[in-house]
A = this chain, B = another copy of it.
Amino acid sequence: MIVIMKKDATPSQLTNVVACIEQMGCQAHVSRGEERTLIGVIGNGRPFDHEKIEQMDGVEKTMPVLRPFKRASREFHPQNTLVTIGDVVVGGNEIVLIAGPCAVESRDQMLGIAEAAKEQGAHMLRGGAFKPRTSPYSFQGLGEEGLRILAEAREKTGLPVVTEVMQPELVPLVTSYADVLQIGARNMQNFALLHAVGKAQCPVLLKRGMMSTVEELLMAAEYILSHGNSRLILCERGIRTFETYTRNTLDINAVPLLKQLTHLPVVVDPSHGTGKWELVQPVSLAAIAAGADGLIVEVHTHPDQALSDGGQSLKPETFGNLVASLRRVAQAVGRTA
């Protein structure tokens, strides 16, 4: 932490700030310049209450030196974290492909898509039983019935299942059916939910909020890690920008940036990241080329009958083409798929 004093700060204001820093158990190194006096706060590695200092008379502003996340940081934990789900390892050399519909709509739909996705190369299944929808008048998901269908799809295909949980009190229920709990973009800062999944005995896939910074994503990860759950996968799914041709702007920079800042696995959702099925394949290949550990892709046997997100879903055969291209790109960057 660095404290910058105002141009006209008085000596006694400086003395007070230094005293306050020292009361917090830190050291204060004062540098007097012609235009400003700076104080380097040297300390204890603990998160420091910069707001308190910022309020003191004579202080212009404070600037953090260290990043505010710790358990999520690669500095703290240099090796890649591997998250193992049955036979699947996320974060290792092999690219992991998670595929399935936006929402579980019926037993036939889900089982059909699950078989088709497996056949085309998927390693895990996705499908929403509880759906966050902008409109109260849209389909809200099948609820527990959807979870039962997902469990049946897992039984039939042998593929583990990722599904969203939207409320802390439903974590036990969803955990009893799912292999991975998904935290959706709108809930990335639902701290009660982060707390609940942090206590769960189940891996978590945490999606970046559509208007959250990479740092906020890592702080959300820090919540889960600090409550004891280290089986955590991060997911870049596009951010909200001024561009309107696409549903979101997939932040490709975030992929290598996250791999540098954190030890956690990073997967990419090209379906929400673009919102247009025609863009899913090129953007998926881009994600792998940029270093992503996997993809979570919307696949539907009948996109034109999907109750949600049909416009960004791939048909199974298109997904199959994606997998074939993706294997070549994975190999080109020293990965397998």
Neighbouring B residues of A12 by C-beta, 8 Å: none
Q: Check B34 against A42 for contact (C-beta < 8 Å).
A: yes
CA distance A288 to B169 in the complex (A): 41
Interface size on A, residues (CB 8 A): 109
Q: How many protomers of this protein does the assembly include?
A: 4
Q: Check A305 against B249 for contact (C-beta < 8 Å).
A: no
Q: What 0/1 pattern do residues 305 to 333 of A give for CB contact below 8 A with B? A: 11111110000000000000100110111
Neighbouring B residues of A276 by C-beta, 8 Å: 257
Contacting residue for A55 out of B136, B282, B311, CB 8 A = B311
Q: Check B191 against A190 for contact (C-beta < 8 Å).
A: no
Neighbouring B residues of A255 by C-beta, 8 Å: 282, 286
CA distance A227 to B283 in the complex (A): 34
Task: Given A66-B35, A282-B291, verify A56-B304 contact (CB < 8 Å).
Answer: yes
Contact of A250 with B by CB under 8 A: yes
Q: Which of A93-101, A110-118, A237-245 contacts B (4 or more CB under 8 A)?
A: A237-245
Task: Given A189-B132, A279-B256, verify A241-B241 contact (CB < 8 Å).
Answer: yes
Chain A residues with CB under 8 Å of chain B are: 2, 4, 7, 27, 29, 31-36, 38, 40, 42-45, 47, 49, 51-52, 54-57, 63, 65-66, 68, 75, 132-138, 140, 166-169, 186-187, 189-192, 209-216, 219, 222-223, 226-227, 238-246, 249-257, 260, 273-274, 276, 278-279, 282-283, 285-291, 303-311, 325, 328-329, 331-333
Offer 25 A-B interface pairs, CB within 8 angstroms, sorted by A. Answer: A2-B38, A4-B65, A32-B42, A36-B65, A47-B137, A51-B310, A52-B305, A52-B306, A63-B63, A68-B135, A68-B137, A134-B216, A134-B219, A136-B222, A137-B226, A167-B168, A213-B243, A213-B245, A214-B245, A238-B253, A239-B243, A250-B253, A253-B279, A253-B283, A256-B278
17 new A-B contacts, CB < 8 A, other than A286-B289, A329-B333, are A32-B42, A34-B44, A34-B45, A35-B66, A47-B135, A51-B306, A52-B305, A166-B192, A210-B211, A214-B243, A250-B252, A252-B252, A256-B279, A282-B291, A285-B332, A325-B333, A332-B332
